[in-house]
Amino acid sequence: MGKIVISLMSFSVTLCSNAGYAQRTAFEPSHPWPDNNGVHINAHGGGVLSHEGAYYWFGEHKIQGRRGNTAQVGVHCYRSKDLYNWQDEGVALRVSDDPDSEIVRGCIIERPKVIYNPKTKKFVMWFHLELKGQGYTAARTAVAVSDNVVGPYTFLRSFRPNAGRLPINLRDEDLVPGPNNYFLRDMETGQMARDMTLFVDENGKAYHIAASEENYTLHISLLTDDFLDFSGLFSRVLIGKHREAPAICKRQGRYYLLTSGCTGWAPNAASYAAADSIFGPYETQGNPCQGFNPENNSGPDLTFGGQSTFILPVQGKTDAFIAMFDLWQPRNPIDGTYIWLPIEWGKDNRMTIRYREKWDLSVFERQ
Ligand code: GAL
């Protein structure tokens, strides 16, 4: 008799979890975020693609220990309809076992972002690549492609972009050699490309935004129509301001570029800048963060312990954006958590990102 009860009980538990017993209905920044298998989501430095009614979150797959700061697995993908509950879709781009491959296991793959090209019907992934054993000196951008959103993605190539090109906002002084003129130093061989994001504008044009010039200046580059290459058109923005971790959104015709300072894995203060053209000029607006993260005693001066990675437009709502930050754990990277917060817009179009211990999408209804 006892046996029957036990098996009935476990049956009902299984049923419950399959029927959504553990469904999440809110975001809890900084806390572990279980996927559909109850495993903490492994998609760091990520970005989200909205495609045909679902969201796809791509990010760096980390493993335990310091070695986890290098790519041992690849880029992980998750799928969601509601942004709270994510289904594990597995590894979208896998590192290679071929020692001659640029993405051989042990290289560094960071901040992967995926966009969809409606003309070619291809999903295009760009990411920051550092070649194995070379620290952060290669500073390359890399591209991979797939016919299916969740992959597998085929690695195409990596390179330093805009070789031999001049920016559209060239100034006389940019061509004067000097010890700090990294732009000119790298003009022939291609510009450095580290922390990056992608942005597709309303007219279908896609842009690659990356920390360049030893992280002193960001480069915003138009991609070719197939999104697989650089078009040669680019601008230098936030020149000499030493910003990285770019994330961007467009609201009411204006572009908002959120960045961090450059202190490696350690948090620092965020800042945002606004422009009327994607190529700039961007005017610095200050730190959008407000409030306090009680989990780590961090406020706006430390971006609540996080670093920006992406701004996610919530589908079906106007002016609704989620700012995504990583709370890095470089000693055990797999434990890194995520801080997702809603962006609030003030009267004079000012951006505020307030820390919230728990929140849901209904905040966008009250704006
Ligand atoms: C940060 C950067 C991360 C990663 C880290 C390595 O500045 O934003 O993506 O590159 O440095 O130290």
Asked if residue 282 belongs to a domain, the reply is: yes
Question: What separation in Å is there between the alpha carbon of 291 and the centre of ligand 1?
Answer: 24
**Residue 269 belongs to what domain range?**
244-367
Task: Kindly report, residue by residue over 60-98, the tens digit of the pLDDT.
Answer: 999 999 999 999 999 999 999 999 999 999 999 999 999
**Beta carbon of 344 within 6 Å of any ligand 1 atom:** no
Angle 255-56-292 (CA atoms, 0-180°, nearest 5)? Answer: 60
Sign, CA dihedral 223-224-227-232, equals negative
Whether 217 shows a pLDDT value over 90: the answer reads: yes
Helices (H), the chain: 2-18, 182-185
**Beta carbon of 45 within 6 Å of any ligand 1 atom:** yes
Q: Which pLDDT score is estimated for 315?
A: 97
Please say whether the beta carbons of 102 and 93 come within 8 A. no
Domains: count for the chain: 1
Pairing type for strands 289-290 and 351-354 reads parallel
Question: Of 197, 204, 200, 189, whose CA–CA distance to 218 is shortest?
Answer: 197
Asked if residue 115 belongs to a domain, the reply is: no
Through-space distance between the first and last CA atoms of the chain, rounded to whole angstroms: 57
Q: What is the mean pLDDT of residues 5-11?
A: 38
| Other beta carbons less than 10 A from residue 24's beta carbon | 16
Asked if residue 303 belongs to a domain, the reply is: yes
Q: How many CA atoms lie within 13 A of 280 on its CB side?
A: 23
Q: Which pLDDT score is estimated for 355?
A: 98
Question: What single DSSP character describes residue 38?
Answer: S
Q: What is the mean pLDDT of residues 222-227?
A: 99
Question: What single DSSP character describes residue 22?
Answer: T
Q: What CATH code is carried by the domain that includes residue 323?
A: 2.115.10.20
Whether 6 shows a pLDDT value over 70: the answer reads: no
- Partnered with residue 352 across adjacent β-strands are 344
Asked if residue 314 belongs to a domain, the reply is: yes
Whether 198 shows a pLDDT value over 60: the answer reads: yes
Asked if residue 204 belongs to a domain, the reply is: no
Question: What single DSSP character describes residue 33?
Answer: -
Q: Which pLDDT score is estimated for 241?
A: 98
Asked if residue 319 belongs to a domain, the reply is: yes
Question: What separation in Å is there between the alpha carbon of 48 and the centre of ligand 1?
Answer: 19
Please say whether the beta carbons of 127 and 102 come within 8 A. no
Question: Of 263, 262, 344, 267, whose CA–CA distance to 301 is shortest?
Answer: 267
What is the best residue among 60, 66, 194, 218 to mutate for testing ligand 1's pocket, by most ligand atoms within 8 Å of CB? 194
In whole angstroms, give the CA distance from residue 82 to residue 20: 13
Question: What single DSSP character describes residue 314?
Answer: P
Q: How many CA atoms lie within 13 A of 291 on its CB side?
A: 14
What residue type is assigned to position 210 of the chain?
A
Question: What separation in Å is there between the alpha carbon of 249 and the centre of ligand 1?
Answer: 21
Helices (H), 138-240: 182-185
Task: Name the band, by pLDDT with cuts 50, 70 and 90, for residue 15.
Answer: very low
In whole angstroms, give the CA distance from residue 211 to residue 236: 10
Whether 11 shows a pLDDT value over 70: the answer reads: no
Q: Phi/psi of residue 13, each to 5°?
A: -65, -45
Asked if residue 253 belongs to a domain, the reply is: yes
**Beta carbon of 343 within 6 Å of any ligand 1 atom:** no
Question: What separation in Å is there between the alpha carbon of 265 and the centre of ligand 1?
Answer: 6
Task: Name the band, by pLDDT with cuts 50, 70 and 90, for residue 367.
Answer: low
**Beta carbon of 65 within 6 Å of any ligand 1 atom:** no
Q: Which pLDDT score is estimated for 16?
A: 36
Asked if residue 134 belongs to a domain, the reply is: no
Q: Which pLDDT score is estimated for 1?
A: 33
Whether 19 shows a pLDDT value over 60: the answer reads: no
Please say whether the beta carbons of 256 and 249 come within 8 A. yes
Question: What separation in Å is there between the alpha carbon of 70 and the centre of ligand 1?
Answer: 11
Average pLDDT over the chain, rounded to whole?
A: 94
Task: Name the band, by pLDDT with cuts 50, 70 and 90, for residue 2.
Answer: very low
Whether 10 shows a pLDDT value over 50: the answer reads: no
| Other beta carbons less than 10 A from residue 23's beta carbon | 11
**Beta carbon of 245 within 6 Å of any ligand 1 atom:** yes
Please say whether the beta carbons of 113 and 141 come within 8 A. no
**Beta carbon of 307 within 6 Å of any ligand 1 atom:** yes
Question: What separation in Å is there between the alpha carbon of 198 and the centre of ligand 1?
Answer: 17
Mapping DSSP to helix (H, G, I), strand (E, B) and coil, where does residue 133 land?
coil
Whether 366 shows a pLDDT value over 90: the answer reads: no
Mapping DSSP to helix (H, G, I), strand (E, B) and coil, where does residue 31 land?
coil
Whether 139 shows a pLDDT value over 50: the answer reads: yes
Task: Kindly report, residue by residue over 307-361, the tens digit of the pLDDT.
Answer: 999 999 999 999 999 999 999 999 999 999 999 999 999 989 999 999 999 999 9
Instruction: Please tell me the least confidently modeled range out of 11-25, 36-50, 171-185, 247-261.
Output: 11-25
Please say whether the beta carbons of 288 and 280 come within 8 A. no
